[in-house]
Chain A
Amino acid sequence: MSGKNFKMLSNPFNLQNPVTVQILGICSALAVTVKLKPAIVMGLSVIVVTAFSNLVISWMRNSIPPRIRIIVQLVVVATMVILVDQVLRAFVYDVSKQLSVYVGLIITNCIIMGRLEAFAMGNKPWPSFIDGIGNGIGYAVILIVVATVRELFGSGTLLGFKIVPQAFFDAGYVNNGMMIMPTMALILVGVIIWIQRSYFKQLNEKE
């Protein structure tokens, strides 16, 4: 992989992160991060959908009439989402149930439309595919970090396994009910943005 392509893969991981820098896809980041397992599955689904929609739209980009491009993009994204949804239902039914409408709502995830409009419409298929994977990973990473904190402190487990020892609970430790609520996910995303901005000064707006 050339250096340019690698940059497209790694940029969304940090300096162009779709969630913490572009503030896209917040809604699902709050909704599916109570437990780690749904968050991982959601992250994977979004990676697949962004990558393949980017690929398909990039192939079609020269034949899409500009006036109706949004509806064409939506059709492609919706097709991908339905495919992913069917796969999830077939192989991980319980997780698919937990994710409920949020898999369907990937269609409206701003990250995907944003990448289609900003990247796939003007670039060749292979770079578009890489860009899709990169942005999907950027989204998935934030989801996994938030979900890890929320599940650990909200339920005392990780991926369903007990992590906080029983001795803690005997000593008076109580799971934090606030972590179960979407409020805390928003605060956690805010904390990630805070930490990221204080490390990478170039992210701060110039006054």
Chain B
Amino acid sequence: MKSLRNFLDKKKPLFLPGGKLSKFGSTFGAFETFLFTPNHTSKTGSHIHDTIDLKRTMTVVIIALLPTLLFGSWNIGYQNGLAFGVERSIIENFIFGFLKVLPIMIVSYGVGLGIEFIVAQIRGHEVNEGFLVTGILIPLILPVNIPLWMVALATAFAVIFGKEIFGGTGYNVMNVALIARAFLFFAYPSEMSGDLVWVYDLAGNTPVDGFSGATPLAYAAQNASSEIASFKDMFLGLIPGSIGETSTLAVLIGAAVLIFTGIGSWKIMLATVLGTLFMGGICNLFPANEYMSIPAYTHLVMGGFAFGAVFMATDPVTASSTEKGKWIYGFMIGILVVLIRVFNPAYPEGMMLAILLMNVWAPLIDYFVIEGHVKRRLKRAKIKANA
């Protein structure tokens, strides 16, 4: 540790303004703060700081994402085994799947961080940690068969057009990882939807009899509710789907971490669940087709709902920031998810589009919440003045 510190201190003058490599100052800064707690002190204004900075926040989110990553890796192996009738142990399944996820993760981090570093050098900013979480979210919401060049293209698109043009980390209007997914979804629909993309190597190979690779959402969209996996299987995540989203249980462990550390907003998570149950309940009351009559709580374990509600909707940058606004924001996501899923046959999953739409609305919700607050206070002040 000491020798590393000494090494950094010796190299530092090179990167300071006037040094030979001062162009790469922010790259150096990024590595230095990554390795050691920064010792900056404030020079003006407020001198009270929370000990938890952006880097620690991101680290906690990554820890919360680990269960979904581990389970997702195992599930890739498990689903592949089911499809082709291969028997593997738990560890073998996990290693099989992890080796499929790893390249996607490397590409997503490589491209994303590469762009972040380049932009930081051009602008002379510090390199922000925002991509640490996005880089792991992107692989988790993609199907396992996705070609790597598509991952690279989508990551580049999302980082440049979703984040950097707005000013970088903390200024983005919409969730960056979801922009990457939405880009792929609309640009390469054949690689992002259908029954063949969710299980490794299913396209072009014949699986064992009776295995179709269709997700519960695909069955539901075809009004084949008897084919949907059991609630228990969907809750545990033994179903085909995007890499990290299948297991509601793993997501709940992550949710517990986020809520316990106070990093994710439990209000948004709860409001999303309530919104889904509300809209699902309305569908149950007027069941015009089979999809509308499946129990409302099934929506909570199908597809990417849990993952989106816990890790995507709660993104502090793109969600509403007022307390009342968070309830409205989450509730609307819940309603939209069911609406898109049930009433739009072109999109079996609605979580991505629901969150992106509400991301755009979040500032408007905040605006009205604050305006309402101001009006109430003014009214109270007037009554007092009259009395």
What residues make up the interface of A, taking CB atoms closer than 8 Å to B? 172, 174, 176-179, 181, 183, 187, 194
Please name all residues of chain A whose beta carbon is closer than 8 Å to the beta carbon of B188 when the two chains form the complex. 174, 176-177
Q: Quick check: B186 and A178 within 8 Å, CB to CB? A: yes
Compute the total of residue contacts between A and B using a CB distance below 8 Å.
20
Q: Quick check: A181 and B186 within 8 Å, CB to CB? A: yes
Q: Quick check: B147 and A172 within 8 Å, CB to CB? A: yes
Q: Quick check: B190 and A194 within 8 Å, CB to CB? A: no
Please name all residues of chain A whose beta carbon is closer than 8 Å to the beta carbon of B147 when the two chains form the complex. 172
Please name all residues of chain B whose beta carbon is closer than 8 Å to the beta carbon of A176 when the two chains form the complex. 187-188
Q: How far is the CA of A80 from the CA of B190 in the complex (A)?
A: 44
Q: How many residues of B contact A (CB 8 A)?
A: 12
| Nearest neighbor of B153 in chain A, beta-carbon distance | A176
Q: Quick check: A177 and B186 within 8 Å, CB to CB? A: yes
Min distance, Cβ A189 to any Cβ of chain B, angstroms = 13
Q: How far is the CA of A181 from the CA of B188 in the complex (A)?
A: 12
Please name all residues of chain A whose beta carbon is closer than 8 Å to the beta carbon of B149 when the two chains form the complex. 172
Min distance, Cβ A114 to any Cβ of chain B, angstroms = 27
The 8 closest A-B pairs by CB, nearest first: A178-B187, A176-B187, A178-B186, A177-B187, A174-B188, A172-B147, A177-B189, A177-B186
Indicate if B31 sits at the interface (CB-CB under 8 A). Answer: no
Q: Quick check: B165 and A194 within 8 Å, CB to CB? A: yes
Min distance, Cβ B208 to any Cβ of chain A, angstroms = 27
Please name all residues of chain B whose beta carbon is closer than 8 Å to the beta carbon of A178 when the two chains form the complex. 183, 186-187
Q: How far is the CA of A194 from the CA of B183 in the complex (A)?
A: 20
Min distance, Cβ A198 to any Cβ of chain B, angstroms = 11
Indicate if B126 sits at the interface (CB-CB under 8 A). Answer: no
Q: How far is the CA of A200 from the CA of B24 in the complex (A)?
A: 26
Indicate if B166 sits at the interface (CB-CB under 8 A). Answer: no
Q: How far is the CA of A45 from the CA of B190 in the complex (A)?
A: 37
Chain A contact residues: helix, strand, loop or mixed: helix
Indicate if B32 sits at the interface (CB-CB under 8 A). Answer: no
Per-position binary interface string of chain B over residues 168-196, scored 1 when its CB falls under 8 Å from any chain A CB and 0 otherwise: 00000000000000010011111100000
Please name all residues of chain A whose beta carbon is closer than 8 Å to the beta carbon of B150 when the two chains form the complex. 174
What residues make up the interface of B, taking CB atoms closer than 8 Å to A? 147, 149-150, 161, 165, 183, 186-191
Min distance, Cβ B193 to any Cβ of chain A, angstroms = 11
Q: How far is the CA of A194 from the CA of B186 in the complex (A)?
A: 24
* 7 residue pairs bridging A and B, Cβ less than 8 Å apart: A172-B147, A174-B150, A177-B188, A177-B189, A178-B183, A183-B186, A187-B161
Counting chain B CB atoms within 10 Å of each CB, the highest count among A176, A179, A194 belongs to A176
Please name all residues of chain A whose beta carbon is closer than 8 Å to the beta carbon of B186 when the two chains form the complex. 177-178, 181, 183
Please name all residues of chain A whose beta carbon is closer than 8 Å to the beta carbon of B165 when the two chains form the complex. 194
Q: How far is the CA of A72 from the CA of B149 in the complex (A)?
A: 55
Please name all residues of chain B whose beta carbon is closer than 8 Å to the beta carbon of A177 when the two chains form the complex. 186-189
Q: How far is the CA of A204 from the CA of B379 in the complex (A)?
A: 44
Min distance, Cβ A11 to any Cβ of chain B, angstroms = 27
Min distance, Cβ B121 to any Cβ of chain A, angstroms = 16
Q: How far is the CA of A192 from the CA of B150 in the complex (A)?
A: 23
Counting chain A CB atoms within 10 Å of each CB, the highest count among B149, B186, B189, B191 belongs to B186
Q: How far is the CA of A187 from the CA of B147 in the complex (A)?
A: 24
Q: How far is the CA of A104 from the CA of B65 in the complex (A)?
A: 54
Please name all residues of chain B whose beta carbon is closer than 8 Å to the beta carbon of A187 when the two chains form the complex. 161
Min distance, Cβ B180 to any Cβ of chain A, angstroms = 12
Please name all residues of chain B whose beta carbon is closer than 8 Å to the beta carbon of A181 when the two chains form the complex. 186
Q: How far is the CA of A172 from the CA of B187 in the complex (A)?
A: 14
Q: How far is the CA of A179 from the CA of B153 in the complex (A)?
A: 13
Please name all residues of chain A whose beta carbon is closer than 8 Å to the beta carbon of B183 when the two chains form the complex. 178
Q: How far is the CA of A177 from the CA of B191 in the complex (A)?
A: 11
Please name all residues of chain B whose beta carbon is closer than 8 Å to the beta carbon of A179 when the two chains form the complex. 187
Q: Quick check: A174 and B161 within 8 Å, CB to CB? A: no
| Nearest neighbor of B188 in chain A, beta-carbon distance | A174
Counting chain A CB atoms within 10 Å of each CB, the highest count among B150, B165, B187 belongs to B187
Min distance, Cβ A173 to any Cβ of chain B, angstroms = 8
Min distance, Cβ B203 to any Cβ of chain A, angstroms = 12
Min distance, Cβ A172 to any Cβ of chain B, angstroms = 6
Q: How far is the CA of A183 from the CA of B189 in the complex (A)?
A: 16
| Nearest neighbor of A178 in chain B, beta-carbon distance | B187
Q: How far is the CA of A45 from the CA of B72 in the complex (A)?
A: 56
Please name all residues of chain A whose beta carbon is closer than 8 Å to the beta carbon of B161 when the two chains form the complex. 187
